[in-house]
Amino acid sequence: MRLKGRKIFGGKAKGIALVSKKPLSFLGGVDPKTGIIKDVESDIRGESVKNRILVFPRGKGSTVGSYVIYQLKKNGVAPRAIIVEEAETIVATGAIIAEIPMVDKIDISKIKTGQFVEVDADKGEIIVEE
Amino acid sequence: MYLTKEEELILAGEYGFALQKAMEILVALGEIYGADKLIPIKSAQVAGVSYKNIGDAGIEFLKDFVDAGAKVSVYTTLNPAGIGEEVFMEKQREILNLYKAMGIEITSTCTPYYGANLPKFGDHIAWSESSAVVFANSIIGARTNREGGPSSLAAAIVGKTPNYGLHLEENRKATIIVEVEAKVRGFADYSFLGYHLGKALKNDVPYFKGLKVKALDHLKELGASMAATGSIALYHVEGETPEYKEALVDSVERLQVGDEELKEVKERFNAEWEEIDAIVIGCPHASIQEVKEIVELLKIREKPLKIPLLITLSRVVKALADALGYTDVIERYNGKMIVDSCLIVSPVEKWYQGIATNSGKASFYFSSAGLKVRLENTDELILGAP
């Protein structure tokens, strides 16, 4: 299945999807050292974002979250790509400074955790293996 | 979004990595929010300064940026830094030095407009401290969105910001009329009003009727409280703020605020004096008028305070207070002036269990940190404290 969105930060990546149905706060919500989700309200709590294609509706919380995304990359535990329904300042800025391919305007209900996803952020396109 | 030839070259990396990253951030935000182009800014004000807030992640980012040769291209000031134990302060100094290396003035304050960084009406700017954003938009009539730390830094480096949101005249019109029937007299009453409305209004542009404003600082606090509990970035006050005459458009909703709504906030922050270890004034940073008022109240009070009175303020206002002899008086009454810093971005819960303040913004953050809070007007605090 091919889904068309919009490029936020370019690049290509492929990997296994980790999908959250809830908005995600990186500050306080993701451990920058391990990449493990610790937000108590998150539906993917305890999962690691490391090397996953991270999929969620939108970011929330403090703008400091951008720096947490940067730290994830520095520590080698960042997701390979980020897919959201709606990009906002925090996650977009985080993806840019950490150089993680990011696409928005994707109907994330079409993606399930565990599916293999190919991301071509330059084209704003993703392919979900069925 | 349209980019000039030069902007395209920056984006392509022709001017180096730092400018490229900064431009990537601006272009992405411009695309997300539907900007038509980038516009030049007159100044920037950058948040993300306290080690408590940005942590090691922020330090690493800033370090890499500095190594890549990042320099600001417009006048830029900083948000308040944190204060803490030795290790904390070491990290804090490192952060400030990194910002300094980018050419940013190390005036760490949430009230840059009391001195170093004062825009004029109509100026486009990129500020990121929420209370300074609402002050600049509403009271000065400058134009800024609520920037995040990294996006205001990117704008400072490029000298431009994407043209969307409050940079556009049509988005500066009132979206709701707030009829104030409640009695608002002092600083804390404006806090009660702002605290209540920040929660009730989301990201509206309120137009206030029925406010007879006695002091500029009261407007400052109204905006700061609304920006703390909500995301208000601009408001108009009939007869007071510079754009109120053009702000009203037909058929916007109305909302009444009476004493009852304000009482609810008041009751939320009514800790007993026995539970309070310090009085905190200066959120946002105190003006010289606020300092003067405190000095006059202390003189009426006659006896020193039993608990410390901490006044946070900018270096500029502190210098003025020193010159006018206010600092000496305040110290005689067990007061302390704290510059460049802010208690709500410091690990204050390690030091105190209860704080009395006149600020709705401070009340919001102190109670989030688990402290007991007493919120009262300045005169009630100084005259009523043990």
Q: What is the pLDDT of residue B39?
A: 98
Full pLDDT tens readout for chain B, 386 residues: 999 999 999 999 999 999 999 999 999 999 999 999 999 999 999 999 989 888 888 999 999 999 999 999 999 999 999 988 899 999 999 999 999 999 999 999 999 999 889 999 999 999 998 999 999 999 999 999 999 899 999 999 999 999 999 999 999 999 999 999 999 999 999 999 999 999 999 889 999 999 999 999 999 999 999 999 888 999 999 999 999 999 998 889 999 999 999 999 999 999 999 999 999 999 999 999 999 999 999 999 999 999 999 999 999 999 999 999 999 999 999 999 999 999 988 888 899 999 999 999 999 999 988 999 999 999 999 999 99
* Catalytic residue status for A66: no
Per-residue confidence (pLDDT) for residue B203, from 0 to 100: 82
pLDDT band at A60 (very low <50, low <70, confident <90, very high): confident
CB nearest to A64's CB, from B31, B53, B60: B53
User: For chain B, what percentages of helix, strand and coil (3-state, to nearest 5) are there?
Assistant: 45, 15, 35
Output the pLDDT for position B33. 93
Residue B303: DSSP 8-state: S
Distance between first and last Cα of chain B:
60
User: Helices B360-368 and B216-229, interaxial angle, to 10°?
Assistant: 30
Look at residue A41 in the predicted model and tell me its pLDDT.
83
Report pLDDT for A39: 84
pLDDT band at A76 (very low <50, low <70, confident <90, very high): very high
Interface residue A56 vs chain B (CB under 8 A): no
Question: Within chain B, where are the H helices?
Answer: 5-11, 17-32, 51-67, 86-101, 130-135, 149-158, 187-201, 216-229, 244-247, 259-268, 288-301, 315-323, 326-332, 360-368, 378-384
Shortest Cα–Cα distance, A8 to chain B (Å): 6
The token pair at B83 is 């204060």
Give me the residues of A, 15-34, that contact B with CB < 8 A: 32
List A20, A25, A42, A62, catalytic entry: A62
Mean pLDDT (whole number) for A1-27: 95
CA nearest to B221, candidates B173, B292, B295, B290: B290
**Given this model, what pLDDT does residue B345 score?**
84
ipTM score of complex: 0.86
Average pLDDT over residues A5-31: 94
Question: Considering CB atoms only, which of B58, B60, B151 is closest to A89?
Answer: B151
Predicted TM-score (pTM) of the model is: 0.92
